[in-house]
Amino acid sequence: MFPQVAEDCLEACRPTWAKETYRKASYVVEAYLEPKLRKESIATLNTPTTIKVPTSIYEQAPSLTSKARQYLGQMIEYAIRHGLRDEGRRLNLRSALPKTSKGHIPAVTLPNEVQRLVQAIAAYESPVTRAALQFAMLTAQRPAPIRCPKTSQEGQKLQ
């Protein structure tokens, strides 16, 4: 059944994934994939049945939809590699996701807009998120360099 294969696949991927990747994958599987596919056999899982899952996830959490599709694809590949599903029986979920617009993210460029930005950042409940946003604002850094900064001496990422 799907839940057992999903669990086995996650455990197989765990050694090669970062902790956060594993946490997110586990969350997506437990919260979104397993409830919808709990009674499905991985051997007979088909595209028409499965295509409904990313669509329902999109309605609840659009940002997780592509990850859910990715994890589901990995589980199908895992099942094929381990003889739990016939060779060549992959799912076609590429067109399952609605197109989203990836518009321009505006920047605060005027002094009178800065006050609203500072107030919006101060409203975040999470102290970690609030601190990261304040750091980004004060240093004019993008999120990736803040999340994985490099030291000036060794050039290695700080953990």
Residue 59's domain is classified under what CATH number?
1.10.150.130
Which pLDDT belongs to residue 29? 92
Which of 56, 36, 60 lies closest to 96 in space, CA to CA? Answer: 56
- Asked if 65 and 117 sit in the same domain, the reply is no
Which domain-ending residue is among 71, 96, 121?
Answer: 96
- Asked if 113 and 143 sit in the same domain, the reply is yes
Number of compact structural domains in the chain: 2
- Asked if 13 and 66 sit in the same domain, the reply is yes
Which pLDDT belongs to residue 117? 86
Phi, psi (5° rounding) for residue 150?
-110, 145
Amino acid making up residue 6 = A
The domain containing residue 15 runs over which residues? 2-96
DSSP string for residues in 95-114: GGSPP----------SHHHH
Q: Is-above-0.75 flag for pTM?
A: no
Question: What confidence tier does 109 reach under pLDDT thresholds 50, 70, 90?
Answer: confident
pLDDT tens column, 24-71: 999 999 999 999 888 988 888 888 888 888 778 888 887 788 888 889
